[in-house]
C-alpha cells in the first residue's frame, strides 16, 4: 500500500501519485504528491509511509 493523503478537492482519502518527502518551515516531515483523480497537490504530515 502506498502513501495516502486527503484531497480537499475530492473530499476523500486518496493514494498519492509520485510522493516525495520534504520538510516544512518548522522542520516537520511531510509527504507531497498528486491526486490520481483531479491532479491537485495532496499533502500528508509525517512523511512517506513504508
Cβ-contact 32, 17 below 8 angstroms:
no
Torsion (CA) 16, 18, 20, 25 in degrees, nearest 10: -60
Closest CA to 43 of 27, 19, 25, 12: 19
Per-residue pLDDT tens digits of the chain, which is 50 residues long: 689 999 999 999 999 999 999 999 999 999 999 999 999 999 999 988 77
Q: Concatenated DSSP letters for 11-41?
A: TEEEEPEEEEEEE-TT--EEEEEE-TTT--E
Q: What is the pLDDT of residues 4-16, one digit of tens each?
A: 999 999 999 999 9
Instruction: Tell me the domain boundaries of the chain.
Output: 4-44
Amino acid at each position: 500500500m502506498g502513501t495516502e493523503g486527503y484531497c480537499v478537492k475530492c473530499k476523500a482519502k486518496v493514494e498519492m501519485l509520485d510522493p516525495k518527502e520534504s520538510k516544512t518551515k518548522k522542520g516537520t516531515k511531510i509527504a507531497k504528491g498528486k491526486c490520481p483523480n483531479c491532479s491537485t497537490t495532496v499533502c500528508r504530515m509525517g512523511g512517506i509511509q513504508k
